[in-house]
Structure 1
Amino acid sequence: MKHVRAWWSFALLVFAWSTNTIIWSPQLTYIKYAHNNLTMVGYQLLHSGTIILYLIALLTVGAVLSRQHLHLARTIKLWLYTILVATGAVTIDWLVFNQFNYHRLYNALLPISRNAAPLATAVIIASALLPWLRTRLSNHNARTGIVIAMLPLAVTTIFNRDIFGLLKGNSVTFALLILVIGSLADQLVANRQAVTKWLGVTLVVNIILVAIMPNAAFQTHASMLTAGRFTTPTFLPSVIVATAFFTLLKEPLTRFATTLNQPSYFLTGLTVLLSDSIVIKRAASLTESTNNLAGQLLIILGLTILNLVIAAWLPLLMDRFQRQWQLSQRIERRFATAPDQPADQQLASIVHQLGGMIRRQWPTLLALLVAYIFADLSIYYMGNHTHFVKQSILWLTTLLIFLTFKALQALTNRYWLSLLVTGMGNVIWIVANIQKMDLRNEPILPSELAMINDLDSLLKMIDYHLLIYSGIAIVVVIIAIIVLERWRRAQRLTWPWRLFWLVLAVGAFSSSALWNHHGSRMQTLMTGLDDQPHFIHQAVGAKQNGPTVQFLNNVDITVMTRPHGYSRAAIDRISRKYSQAAKQINATRTNQLKDQTIIFNLSESFANPNRVPGVSLKANPIPKIDHIKKQTTSGIMISSGYGGGTADMEYMTLTGFAMCNFAQTLSTPYTQLVPYLKHNPTIVQSFKYAAAIHPYSKKFYDRGTDYPKFGFKKFSYLGSKEYPIRHQKKIDRNTYMSDQTAYANTLDQLKDHPGAQFINLVTMQNHLPYNNLYNGTNRYRATVGNGTDPAQVANYAMGIHHTDEAVAQFIKEIDKINRPITLVFYGDHLPGIYRNSMKKDGLKLHETDYFIYSNPAAQRQGAKKLTRSTHYVGPNDFIAMTAEQTNSQVTPYQALLTRLYHQLPAYALSTQQNGTNSFNSAPEYVNQQGKVVSYKSFTKKQKKLWHDYQLVQYDITAGHHYLLKTNMMK
């Protein structure tokens, strides 16, 4: 009967401990009650009661630990068990709930140094400290020790200053204090009557202070900010009450606690589970699902019981596992200490054993060190000249290099051969990436491995001195392998270990095929490790992630999901269908695109701020462009980006292909697709001559590689010696070339090549940042909301005012030229300066301005203002719109684009997201009234048209390129 009462007593305490940790967590919002009334007093008294029960549980733990023999090997096992439970919690959170963060992994592997679970750390320390302390203190010393231990609590309570680092009970210092008090109280032979009196007095004091504190807080601060001052475990009266209760009930409490199977494991496991965010996160998410307080408390109760069951079950599982694999015996043999040894002798023995372990494991430690050095060097030489950032990626690269070594060792079972070949391979890998970065400003990518077949050509690109040095180095490595293998053979592996390392290495590298699967466990893991697959600019990705991780980031690139019904027969049907459509369209058109001069002008970040909800300007910054828009074809372009994604808009205008049709992992075709396709059909191929102008670097988005593949014969950019940017001018403090510079170079191109041509002009003037760029910004003083910075908006507005002036002047100049010229002007995306909710205002934050203007010569040749389907368009529509406005005949593919333009709403990536160059989203359709419509609302004819479009895009970009053998793209 006594045992049953003791069981229930300790169970109640541990339950209170768990409940107190979860129910009062600041991450939970369900109990944020803050009114000065009796309900608030009730909450505070309830909280104080659970704290007292929690403190009694800690005191009981301290007593139980102090009764054990001093055995440092047991403390080491307790530490290892803590790491195991914490790592298991992180793993379960990843595999079950698809959540991972490398900081939590660090916390799990280094629980003491990271202070991840203060109470678990205190239990580990106390398992060695308290048995030693008990042997040195008498009953009298115990009473004095209790008083001394409570002094920091007294100072913290009276002065409300945490000078001892107690952290309101969430620190190792506080937990050790309570455990020590429990140990001392267990030795104390006290007068029960005197203890009962102390209990009564302090309990009354505790209740009074806790009850009056909410009103005192309200009267002092007019809020409940300090209402919980006395509902913390560090409140001295609560500690005294708990100590008095424990002193009166210590025999039944400790009797049951000592009968628990491996009580220390149960306690540390419970503290780790309670301190790990997986429990609080589940509690927070589950309690948010109901507004009923009773239901929320039942959820907390269920989670508490579940944690207790898991914490009690884990030691049983561990005990069974240890018996099967004799782990406990192995640890005991490894750290050969005995309970009857003095502490200093036990510690000396453990240090000696650790030294022996290090000496025995030197081959593995050396390999890890070599892997770490090469990982560090690989990231360093990609331009990240610091050794103190992104340690998670550094360790990931180290692991990959180490696994490469272990795989070679598993295959050859030769340590030095594997280590030196791994080292030599990494030297070659780093040097090759440095060479590639110098030549192309990008690292080595998986698609380039096929170039190994043309090894002779590759070697011709390398300086012969480097080849000589490489040959010498290879000879030196071969000699070193022979000498070291004969001099000191090391670490031969058994067949099970060889198979284990080989499978692990293959699995680790093969996992890269899933790194970019949106929402997958592997993507969550890599994101949690701070991997940023920077597809927008591969050089930046290599700098951030190192060449190895960036290489693997590019393995999982699916261009486009295969549409249903894709086949040679389906593509031939489409080719015939739209060849007939082209004939119908061309029957009424008299001009050819190749006889026109067409200018596609991407105006960087151009969009009228007055359309953004909550933003208004003192004056209109683009009156001249607004006037032009009224006179010609114009409207709103739905962008597939916000604050970025320039090259994606450019790609869509040139090719007619839609970003929303590509797979999620293909976010930047300019860097992920175009360089690796032999054929990239674009509007350029409708002209005999084409030029590109960009007053900035050619390296961004791989334009220097992509433009020649598109068919451009000339590319003017900053730094070009063959086709330099002339008339360079910047405005005020803006570091980018002005739009006036861009248009002056375009006029030069019109003069240099007086015949028909296609010009792709990409400006840079209005690129971010937008801080203190221009003079006179008060002219466009902004009224904003939602946290948007009005100064940035005013600077941006002044920038597009300069664009307004430059565009108007440019149109005046092309009007003077007596040959047909049509200008397609469009903003690629809004600047990322608005703080509106993307969920609420997403569509507005993806609306940019566009117009299509034909000069008088083009109008005389038949160019006309379009009046149909112009209010809302996508960048994919510009090819068809230009052909229609200039009365030009079309190819079968352009006929398809024409039908899409006339029969379907505008389409883009989801406007509810603000990410660009990350992962694509499903299509979003916007009709001519500016309303989002669903695919389900399409007619059967519209759905068939959209499916034809997807088949064509898939065939050209990811399929078998059947269309290239037809007249479809010609």
Structure 2
Amino acid sequence: MNKERKNIGLAMLLIFSSLLVCLDRIFWQSSPDILINDKVNIQQSLMQIYHASTLIGIDIFAITLGSLLQGSEDKSWSSAIKYWIYTIFVGTLGLLVLTLFSREFSIGDLYNMLFPFVRNTYGILSGIVLGMLTLPLFNKGVKKYENIIKLSLLLVIIAPTIFNKDIFGFANGTVFGYILVNLGFYGNYIRSKLSVKKVVTRIILLLLTNIIVVSLMPEFSKAIHNDLSTAGRFTNSASALLILLAFYIVLLVSKIKVNVKNGYVDFIIYTAWALLVISNNQTLLNKLIEYNRKTAQSVTRWILAKDIKEILWLMLIVILSNFIILGICKLIGISQKISNFYDIRADEELSQFFYRITNGIKSWLKAHQVYLATIAWGYFLAIFSFLMMNTKWTVAPNVDVKYNIFTYTIGVRQAMVLVNAIIFLLFLKFIFSLTNRYWFSTIVASLLWIIWVVANRIKIGIRNEPILPSELSMIKAWRSLLGMVDGWILLLVVSVIVITIPIIYFLEKKYRLPKQKWYSRVAWLIIIPVIFSSVTFLNHEKSVIHIISGGIGNDPTFYN
């Protein structure tokens, strides 16, 4: 049992802040009638104060998480990996659930969930993860250059507020998240240097300053610009006043020494993290906002009531789901495996840690080079099959558009190429599960795939259409079909088979790979046919496979 303990107060603050973020994302995008107010009055000032109270949520979240993680630099890399895998899983699962209920699917949304960093899906969370990766460097640097780090953080926070420009790309989110989590690191570092009295005094001063500045900005905007264009000048999460208020709130809570076991706090962190992932899923938000607009008719109190109810239900669902998800991860040991590999050991310098990680990745790539090569081979065969279906070097999907077949295949039809690669790999896996012979399965699957592609290419050349499902029944008349094939083709097929048999025998003997466990084979023999059987519903409108198929650009024609 892990005996390390963490501050439960900070963990609960993390949950509270994540709920504020959800409320901010849903409520203000629902266009409540309170936004119609374009006059300088009490209501406008109160609206600005309320909006600022939800915007501070993201500041508190990132700073709180930084404060919780600061003392765990040995686990910072493993934490970053775990949170990122969890982010991808929650996002993808959420998209699947949304597809089931909304009956809509977009390949762009799937890419956003699977590749959140390069697609900038979760800017703030990306910045926090980057902060986790650099935490060991921060802890080493802050001991030597505390004043420089403090001044740098203050400069980055204050400069955009003074100049009213997004000079550090805060709107993008990643830089903003990185700065905030480092501010949390720094806050935990200086926690013991500030008394509770000083922290409470600064919180009161910053709270009053925020209320005064935020509520008076509509008046200044009207006086200077004769409109409300700058009424929200300080009503944004990047405002230095809000960030500093969040900083000292976190600092105060961190001084409340009520600690519990790490496991409980980690569960709360994952729950709060999931809420942030969901609140940044614009597709899901759009559905909720659309529903609320229809049912609440932009009435502020109705929208607010609906939002709070939905957020509480969402939190309950996330908590229940986490019991299952995190329980399974613990059961299969994936969390411990990541920790064993990525934790910085007590006797390790950073240079030794990076050397070990680099060597470990190299060793993993070397140990799995055959499987990685097979994946690459499957991708190549998918591209090959697409190219072979063309009779010209160009393709014109529309009247006024023409593409080179390579550009069209690798660019426009990339989603379908990936689907075909997955189909090939599943086909290979099925044969492997039947025979438990890797090289035999790979070569046989490849030959059958190539034969199928060539047969379709021949049919397209003759009839300008691929082999139809109904024509597969003609295989019963295989003797008549062989009579229609040129002799040199039959000779070539026989030669390939004769050559392939000793190659398979050699590879199975010389480069023998680990065999599958019996339960793994049984599982795959059940799962793969179920996956392939989904095509029987491909032409059923509003079926899940039909929706996903359309979303990835697959538009099959059913001849019969």
TM-score tier (shorter): 0.7 to 0.9
Instruction: Please report how far the alpha carbon of residue 392 of structure 1 lies from its aligned counterpart in structure 2 after TM superposition.
Output: 1.6
Aligned to 1:45: 49
Conserved in 2, the CA contact under 8 Å of 1:102 and 1:392?
yes
Q: Which amino acid in structure 1 is aligned with residue 288 of structure 2?
A: A
CA distance in 2, matches of 1:224, 1:251: 40
CA distance 1:7–1:488, shift in 2 (3 Å): closer
Aligned to 1:343: 350
Q: Which amino acid in structure 1 is aligned with residue 498 of structure 2?
A: V
Aligned to 2:367: 360
CA distance in 1, matches of 2:460, 2:86: 46
Instruction: Please report how far the alpha carbon of residue 398 of structure 1 lies from its aligned counterpart in structure 2 after TM superposition.
Output: 0.5
Aligned to 2:3: none
Aligned to 1:36: 39
Conserved in 1, the CA contact under 8 Å of 2:18 and 2:276?
no
Match of 1:109 among 111, 114, 119: 114
Match of 1:77 among 79, 82, 85: 82
Aligned to 2:292: 287
CA distance 1:9–1:329, shift in 2 (3 Å): closer
Match of 1:185 among 164, 184, 187: 187
Instruction: Please report how far the alpha carbon of residue 242 of structure 1 lies from its aligned counterpart in structure 2 after TM superposition.
Output: 2.5
Instruction: Render the CA deviation track for 1:776-807: whole Å, top value 9, x for unaligned.
Output: xxxxxxxxxxxxxxxxxxxxxxxxxxxxxxxx
Q: Which amino acid in structure 1 is aligned with residue 441 of structure 2?
A: S
Conserved in 2, the CA contact under 8 Å of 1:371 and 1:402?
yes
TM-score (norm 2): 0.84
CA distance in 1, matches of 2:107, 2:52: 35
Match of 1:62 among 55, 62, 66: 66
Aligned to 1:855: none
CA distance in 1, matches of 2:16, 2:406: 56
SS of aligned partner of 1:106: helix
Instruction: Render the CA deviation track for 1:207-230: whole Å, top value 9, x for unaligned.
Output: 444334445556777765554343
Aligned to 2:436: 413
Aligned to 1:126: 131
Conserved in 2, the CA contact under 8 Å of 1:70 and 1:132?
no
Instruction: Please report how far the alpha carbon of residue 182 of structure 1 lies from its aligned counterpart in structure 2 after TM superposition.
Output: 1.8
CA distance 1:141–1:485, shift in 2 (3 Å): closer
Instruction: Render the CA deviation track for 1:300-350: whole Å, top value 9, x for unaligned.
Output: 112222333344445544443344333333444555753553333333323
Q: In the alignment, is residue 403 of structure 1 matched against residue 426 of structure 2?
A: yes
Match of 2:170 among 166, 180, 183: 166
Instruction: Please report how far the alpha carbon of residue 393 of structure 1 lies from its aligned counterpart in structure 2 after TM superposition.
Output: 1.0
CA distance in 2, matches of 1:157, 1:336: 38
SS of aligned partner of 1:388: helix
Percent of aligned pairs sharing the same letter = 25
CA distance in 1, matches of 2:253, 2:517: 57
Instruction: Render the CA deviation track for 1:760-780: whole Å, top value 9, x for unaligned.
Output: xxxxxxxxxxxxxxxxxxxxx
CA distance in 2, matches of 1:399, 1:496: 22
CA distance 1:206–1:263, shift in 2 (3 Å): same
Conserved in 1, the CA contact under 8 Å of 2:8 and 2:259?
no
SS of aligned partner of 2:87: helix
Q: In the alignment, is residue 252 of structure 1 matched against residue 284 of structure 2?
A: no
CA distance 1:381–1:10, shift in 2 (3 Å): closer
Aligned to 1:447: 470
Aligned to 1:151: 155
CA distance in 2, matches of 1:221, 1:436: 71
SS of aligned partner of 2:74: coil
Matches within 5 A, 1:91-110: 91-110=96-115
SS of aligned partner of 1:328: helix
CA distance 1:95–1:339, shift in 2 (3 Å): farther
Conserved in 2, the CA contact under 8 Å of 1:44 and 1:228?
yes
Conserved in 2, the CA contact under 8 Å of 1:409 and 1:418?
yes
Conserved in 2, the CA contact under 8 Å of 1:371 and 1:398?
yes
Q: In the alignment, is residue 305 of structure 1 matched against residue 312 of structure 2?
A: yes
Aligned to 1:517: 540
TM-score (norm 1): 0.50
SS of aligned partner of 2:296: coil
CA distance 1:6–1:380, shift in 2 (3 Å): closer
CA distance in 2, matches of 1:197, 1:404: 67
Instruction: Please report how far the alpha carbon of residue 374 of structure 1 lies from its aligned counterpart in structure 2 after TM superposition.
Output: 0.5
Conserved in 2, the CA contact under 8 Å of 1:403 and 1:501?
no
SS of aligned partner of 1:385: helix
Instruction: Please report how far the alpha carbon of residue 514 of structure 1 lies from its aligned counterpart in structure 2 after TM superposition.
Output: 0.6
Instruction: Please report how far the alpha carbon of residue 442 of structure 1 lies from its aligned counterpart in structure 2 after TM superposition.
Output: 1.7
Conserved in 1, the CA contact under 8 Å of 2:10 and 2:64?
no
Instruction: Please report how far the alpha carbon of residue 441 of structure 1 lies from its aligned counterpart in structure 2 after TM superposition.
Output: 1.6
SS of aligned partner of 2:69: helix
CA distance 1:137–1:337, shift in 2 (3 Å): closer
The structure with the larger Rg is: 1
Matches within 5 A, 1:293-692: 293-333=300-340, 338-339=345-346, 341-383=348-390, 384-386=405-407, 387-459=410-482, 462=485, 464-533=487-556, 535=557, 554=558, 672-673=559-560
Q: Which amino acid in structure 2 is aligned with residue 373 of structure 1?
A: F
CA distance in 2, matches of 1:335, 1:4: 26
Conserved in 2, the CA contact under 8 Å of 1:375 and 1:394?
yes
Q: Which amino acid in structure 1 is aligned with residue 276 of structure 2?
A: T
Instruction: Please report how far the alpha carbon of residue 69 of structure 1 lies from its aligned counterpart in structure 2 after TM superposition.
Output: 3.7
Q: Which amino acid in structure 1 is aligned with residue 365 of structure 2?
A: I
Instruction: Please report how far the alpha carbon of residue 405 of structure 1 lies from its aligned counterpart in structure 2 after TM superposition.
Output: 0.9
CA distance in 1, matches of 2:138, 2:198: 26
Instruction: Please report how far the alpha carbon of residue 46 of structure 1 lies from its aligned counterpart in structure 2 after TM superposition.
Output: 0.9
Instruction: Please report how far the alpha carbon of residue 175 of structure 1 lies from its aligned counterpart in structure 2 after TM superposition.
Output: 0.9
CA distance 1:482–1:4, shift in 2 (3 Å): closer
Conserved in 2, the CA contact under 8 Å of 1:58 and 1:178?
yes
Aligned to 2:92: 87
Conserved in 2, the CA contact under 8 Å of 1:118 and 1:171?
yes
Aligned CA-pair RMSD: 3.3
Matches within 5 A, 1:855-894: none
CA distance in 1, matches of 2:375, 2:8: 53
CA distance in 1, matches of 2:198, 2:128: 30
Instruction: Render the CA deviation track for 1:79-115: whole Å, top value 9, x for unaligned.
Output: 3222322232223223344343333333333333332
> Which blocks of at least 5 consecutive residues in structure 2 are unaligned?
1-6, 391-404
Instruction: Render the CA deviation track for 1:469-496: whole Å, top value 9, x for unaligned.
Output: 4443333323322332233222422222
Instruction: Please report how far the alpha carbon of residue 76 of structure 1 lies from its aligned counterpart in structure 2 after TM superposition.
Output: 2.5
SS of aligned partner of 2:244: helix
Instruction: Please report how far the alpha carbon of residue 513 of structure 1 lies from its aligned counterpart in structure 2 after TM superposition.
Output: 0.3
Q: Which amino acid in structure 1 is aligned with residue 304 of structure 2?
A: L
Conserved in 2, the CA contact under 8 Å of 1:198 and 1:244?
yes
Q: Which amino acid in structure 2 is aligned with residue 343 of structure 1?
A: L
CA distance 1:56–1:404, shift in 2 (3 Å): closer
Instruction: Please report how far the alpha carbon of residue 423 of structure 1 lies from its aligned counterpart in structure 2 after TM superposition.
Output: 1.3
CA distance in 2, matches of 1:396, 1:7: 41
Q: Which amino acid in structure 2 is aligned with residue 98 of structure 1?
A: R
Q: Which amino acid in structure 1 is aligned with residue 100 of structure 2?
A: L
CA distance 1:147–1:316, shift in 2 (3 Å): farther
> Which blocks of at least 5 consecutive residues in structure 1 are unaligned?
536-553, 555-671, 674-970
Instruction: Render the CA deviation track for 1:100-155: whole Å, top value 9, x for unaligned.
Output: 333333333333333222233233333343354234424x9545423312323333
CA distance in 1, matches of 2:542, 2:54: 40
Aligned to 1:826: none
CA distance 1:475–1:497, shift in 2 (3 Å): same
Conserved in 2, the CA contact under 8 Å of 1:18 and 1:274?
yes
CA distance 1:230–1:442, shift in 2 (3 Å): farther
Q: Which amino acid in structure 2 is aligned with residue 290 of structure 1?
A: A
CA distance in 2, matches of 1:5, 1:489: 55
Instruction: Please report how far the alpha carbon of residue 57 of structure 1 lies from its aligned counterpart in structure 2 after TM superposition.
Output: 3.4
Q: Which has the higher contact order (CA 8 A, sep 6+)?
A: 2
Q: Which amino acid in structure 1 is aligned with residue 313 of structure 2?
A: L
Aligned to 1:720: none
SS of aligned partner of 1:116: coil
CA distance in 2, matches of 1:49, 1:328: 36
CA distance 1:32–1:458, shift in 2 (3 Å): farther
